[in-house]
């Protein structure tokens, strides 16, 4: 942008020295440009493939740069395993207890009930024996403790059986579903990072630059491929302030390109609402005409072969 501004400034200065300004000639000066699409690196990895050389035309979806993805593939595999584990846990909770587990719990209940019956009978016998002074009070107390312990064991076994037959709590199901959703989100994020290691063209255009060589380790956030997008270039020009009110988006303007005898008709695709640069002095009536507004004039597809950076002149409509 600085180079373009300097070029335009030199051109305007040259016309001033010649005794006339772009305003007096009804011209907007600038250069041919294309949209610059910079593909940046999201990780610090090594370049392993550059299938398309610089300067070649590319189409959307073409492979531009391939970065080493072995480490990220391992991360994705781990995330997939976490998803599988979360799915299995949720399915287990939904299915509830197995028949074998329920049968085992029922057997424990039956065993605890039999133990309680035996303990109760032992306690009653000891009561009779204590009344006839045939056993000590300590023996009766021990039988009572065994009976109470057997009763507690039976209640515990019954509650375990009830827990198995009642199924999983709703709160546990929601927790398992949340864990599965979190694992899915992590997997999607890691797969996106893996896909980002394969740099694909997002628009049709020309591969202008490959800043990194094969085998180099790129830095995060640095451009790894630059594409000049679009078929035909557009003229980026500076419109003098008196002509700004006459320039509208969609308007047809004549573009004169250095090296071509005949002008090409282009269409205004954008005009800035702010001046590109402002004089340091007060903008009085005589001086504010020096303001310049940046505009872009799109050329037709027939001008697709024209290179970037060529100086152009756009004829502006009359102030009348």
Model confidence band, residue 142 (pLDDT cutoffs 50, 70, 90)? confident
d(CA 133, CA 128): 9
Question: What's the chain's average pLDDT?
Answer: 85
Give the per-residue pLDDT at 42: 93
| Contact in structure between 157 and 105 (CB atoms under 8 Å) | yes
User: How high is the pLDDT of residue 14?
Assistant: 45
The pLDDT confidence band at residue 28, using thresholds 50, 70 and 90, is very high
Give the per-residue pLDDT at 17.
35
> Where does the chain show beta strands of DSSP type E?
27-40, 47-49, 57-58, 63-67, 198-200, 205-209, 223-240, 252-257, 264-277, 292-298, 311-315
Instruction: Specify the pLDDT at position 281.
Output: 52
Instruction: Please state which of the ranges 137-151, 201-215, 268-282 shows the lowest mean pLDDT.
Output: 268-282
Q: Which residues of 252-276 are buried (b: 16+ CB within 10 A; e: fewer)?
A: ebebbbeeeeeebebbbeebeeebe
- pTM across the whole model: 0.66
CATH of domain 2-68+204-315: 2.40.30.170
Alpha-carbon distance of 172 to 68, in angstroms, equals: 41
pLDDT in tens, 34-92: 999 999 999 999 999 999 999 899 999 999 999 999 999 999 999 999 999 999 999 88
158-186 pLDDT, tens digit per residue, is 887 777 677 678 888 899 999 999 999 99
Give the other-Cβ count within 10 Å of 288's Cβ: 14
Among candidate residues 309, 197, 318, 198, the one with its CA nearest the CA of residue 254? 318
Task: State yes or no: pLDDT of 283 exceeds 70.
Answer: no
Residue 4: half-sphere exposure toward Cβ, Cα within 13 Å: 17
Domain-wise residue ranges, the chain? 2-68+204-315, 74-187
Cα–Cα nearest to 319, from 117, 14, 25? 25
Question: Per-residue pLDDT for 12 more than 50?
Answer: no
**Cβ-proximal residues to 235 (8 Å cutoff; 6+ apart), any chain:** 30, 31, 32, 33, 255, 266, 296, 297, 299, 312, 314
Torsion region of 67: left, alpha or beta (phi above 0 gives left; psi -120 to 50 gives alpha):
beta
The arithmetic mean of pLDDT across residues 5-19, rounded, is 43
Judged by average pLDDT, the poorest of 20-24, 80-84, 112-116, 315-319 is 20-24
**What pLDDT, on the 0 to 100 scale, is given for residue 279?**
55
- What does the alpha-carbon distance between residue 316 and residue 222 come to, in Å, rounded to a whole number? 40
Pick the CATH number of 74-187 from 1.10.287.470, 3.30.70.100, 1.10.10.10, 3.55.50.30: 1.10.287.470
Q: For residues 294 and 30, what is the distance between their CA atoms, to the nearest angstrom?
A: 9
> For 211-240, what is the mean pLDDT?
94
Q: Closest Cα to residue 294, out of 261, 270, 318, 264?
A: 270
Average pLDDT over residues 265-270: 95
- Number of alpha carbons in the 13 Å side-chain half-sphere of residue 247: 30
- Kindly state the average pLDDT of the residues 191-210: 95
């Amino acid at each position: 942008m600085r180079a373009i501004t300097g070029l335009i400034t030199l051109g305007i200065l040259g016309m001033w020295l010649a005794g006339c300004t772009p305003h007096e000639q009804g011209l907007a000066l600038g250069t041919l440009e294309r949209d610059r699409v910079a593909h940046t690196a999201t990780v610090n990895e090594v370049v392993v493939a550059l299938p398309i050389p610089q300067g070649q035309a590319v189409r959307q979806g073409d492979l531009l740069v391939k970065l080493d993805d072995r480490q990220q593939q391992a991360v994705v595999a781990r995330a997939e395993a976490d998803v599988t584990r979360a799915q299995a846990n949720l399915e287990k909770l939904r299915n509830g207890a197995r028949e074998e587990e329920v049968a085992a719990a029922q057997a424990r209940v039956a065993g605890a009930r039999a133990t309680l019956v035996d303990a109760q009978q032992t306690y009653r016998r000891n009561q009779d024996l204590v009344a006839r002074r045939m056993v000590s009070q300590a023996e009766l107390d021990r039988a009572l403790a065994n009976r109470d312990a057997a009763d507690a064991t039976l209640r515990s076994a019954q509650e375990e059986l009830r827990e198995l037959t009642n199924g999983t709590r709703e709160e546990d199901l929601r927790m398992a579903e949340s864990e599965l959703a979190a694992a899915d989100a992590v997997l999607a994020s890691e797969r996106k990072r893996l896909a980002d290691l394969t740099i694909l063209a997002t628009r049709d255009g020309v591969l202008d630059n490959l800043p990194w060589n094969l085998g180099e380790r790129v830095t995060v956030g640095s451009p790894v491929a630059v594409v000049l997008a679009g078929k035909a270039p557009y003229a980026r020009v500076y419109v003098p302030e008196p002509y700004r009110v006459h320039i509208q988006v969609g308007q047809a303007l004549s573009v004169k390109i250095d090296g071509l005898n005949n002008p090409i008709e282009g269409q205004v695709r954008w005009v800035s609402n702010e001046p590109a640069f402002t004089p340091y002095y007060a903008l009085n009536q005589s001086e504010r005409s020096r303001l310049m507004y940046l505009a872009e004039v799109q050329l037709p597809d027939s001008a697709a072969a024209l290179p970037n950076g060529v100086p152009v002149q756009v004829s502006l409509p009359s102030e009348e």
